[in-house]
């Protein structure tokens, strides 16, 4: 399959009237793309003859960390849809079901935690991009900047999805915890 076919399928899935994938999945996938673009820049730099030998171990470690973060963010793309589907399922419980409200609140909490976890991974990736950017070949530096902007967008979009779920949570401890995380995430951008 050509690379653009997969990108087209995800884009069309976002454009559909189905509730998933939605903004949380888009945020996670955007973060994965930011990691992937940074990996390309680091990998290209590693292949260049002009790259100092003493920089290569650091670049290789960075490449490995970015690959791990990319895979983590790709997993959150799927987990976001699963969390929202779980929320929709508990919404269908009879209103007179004694455990319904707790189940709804737990599902909302999980639906907020997935984008929070994705934002955490994107913040870690942003730090990695910042650490490696001075060692990347100047000819490909624009891709490092694009990776940074994609990761920042991932964080900001994840925050919006956290807020959407946070607004419906009734547990003040959970809403406060999410608010602290949101503030930390936004400071990273």
Q: Which pLDDT tens digit goes with each residue over 107-140?
A: 999 999 999 999 999 999 999 999 999 999 999 9
Closest CA to 134 of 148, 149, 144, 125: 144
CA 20 remoteness from chain centre: 16
Q: Which two tokens stand for residue 187?
A: 């400071």
In a domain, 99, yes or no: yes
Structural domain count, the chain = 1
In a domain, 8, yes or no: no
- In angstroms, the Cα distances linking 181 to 92, 96, 116, 119 are 30, 34, 7, 9
Whichever domain contains 102, its CATH number is: 1.20.120.680
pLDDT at res. 80: 95
**Percentage of residues in the chain with pLDDT exceeding 70?**
99
In a domain, 3, yes or no: no
Range of the domain at 172: 20-188
Angle at 112 between CA 159 and CA 121, to 5 degrees: 60
In a domain, 7, yes or no: no
User: Tens of pLDDT along 40-89?
Assistant: 999 999 999 999 999 999 999 999 999 999 999 999 999 999 999 999 99
DSSP conformation class of 5: H
pLDDT band at 1 (very low <50, low <70, confident <90, very high): low
Q: Are 37 and 17 in contact (CB under 8 A)?
A: no
H or E stretch covering 102: helix 100-132
**Which string of b and e fits 112-128 if b means at least 16 CB within 10 Å?**
bbbbbbbbbbbbbbbeb
pLDDT at res. 4: 77
Q: How many helices (H) and strands (E) does the chain have?
A: 6, 0
In a domain, 9, yes or no: no
User: Tens of pLDDT along 13-35?
Assistant: 999 999 889 999 999 999 999 99
Cβ neighbors of 166 (< 8 A, separation 6 or more) are 112, 174, 175, 178, 179, 182
In a domain, 132, yes or no: yes
Helices 100-132 and 23-47, interaxial angle, to 10°?
A: 20
Distance CA 185, CA 172 (A): 20
In a domain, 6, yes or no: no
DSSP conformation class of 99: T
């Amino acid at each position: 399959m050509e690379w653009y076919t997969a990108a087209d399928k995800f884009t069309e899935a976002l454009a559909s009237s189905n509730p998933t994938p939605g903004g949380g999945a888009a945020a996670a996938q955007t973060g994965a793309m930011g990691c992937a673009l940074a990996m390309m820049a680091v990998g290209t730099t590693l292949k260049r003859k002009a790259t100092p030998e003493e920089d290569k171990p650091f670049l290789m470690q960075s490449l490995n960390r970015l690959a791990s973060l990319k895979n983590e963010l790709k997993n959150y793309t799927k987990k976001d849809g699963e969390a929202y589907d779980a929320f929709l399922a508990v919404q269908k419980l009879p209103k007179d079901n004694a455990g319904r409200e707790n189940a709804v609140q737990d599902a909302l909490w999980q639906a907020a935690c997935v984008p929070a976890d994705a934002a955490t991974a994107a913040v870690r990736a942003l730090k990695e991009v910042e650490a490696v950017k001075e060692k990347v070949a100047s000819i490909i530096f624009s891709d490092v900047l694009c990776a940074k902007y994609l990761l920042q967008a991932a964080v900001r979009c994840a925050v919006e999805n956290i807020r959407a779920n946070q607004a419906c949570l009734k547990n003040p401890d959970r809403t406060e915890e999410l608010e602290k995380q949101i503030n930390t995430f936004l400071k990273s951008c």
